[in-house]
């Protein structure tokens, strides 16, 4: 994951934001709240924390306040999946 993304998240601390993300079952979800910070429980994975005590795994974020997140490309492929086949051609 791009380390510059964490600089972007740092700029959003204290602001009310909306996040679109993949949950653990790869379902697209959304959440809103004030970004309170980042934390890493195991020194590897990182989570964006909202004021409602919700923690979203950073590498599963599609957009955060409209800004593309680390999972944006994955979502784009997911959204355009039907365009990858030739439809029987």
pTM higher than 0.85: no
Would you write out the chain's pLDDT as a tens digit for each of its 89 residues? 677 888 889 999 999 999 999 999 989 999 999 999 999 999 889 999 999 889 999 999 999 999 999 888 888 776 655 555 655 55
Taking CA atoms, 85 is separated from 59, 67, 79, in Å, by: 28, 29, 13
**For 4-84, CATH number?**
2.30.30
31 Cβ contact list (under 8 Å, min separation 6): 18, 19, 21, 50, 52, 54, 56
Determine contact, residues 15/65, Cβ cutoff 8 Å. Answer: yes
Helical segments of the chain, H only = 4-12, 72-79
Question: What confidence score (pLDDT) does residue 88 get?
Answer: 52
Question: What confidence score (pLDDT) does residue 41 get?
Answer: 92
């Amino acid at each position: 994951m791009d380390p510059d993304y964490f600089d972007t998240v740092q700029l959003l601390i204290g602001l009310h934001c909306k996040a679109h993300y993949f949950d653990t079952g790869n379902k697209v979800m959304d959440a809103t709240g004030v970004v309170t910070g980042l934390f890493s429980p195991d020194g590897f994975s990182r989570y964006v924390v909202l004021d409602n005590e919700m923690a979203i795994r950073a590498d599963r974020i599609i957009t955060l306040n409209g800004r593309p997140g680390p999972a944006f490309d994955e979502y784009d492929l997911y959204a355009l999946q039907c365009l990858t086949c030739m439809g029987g051609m």
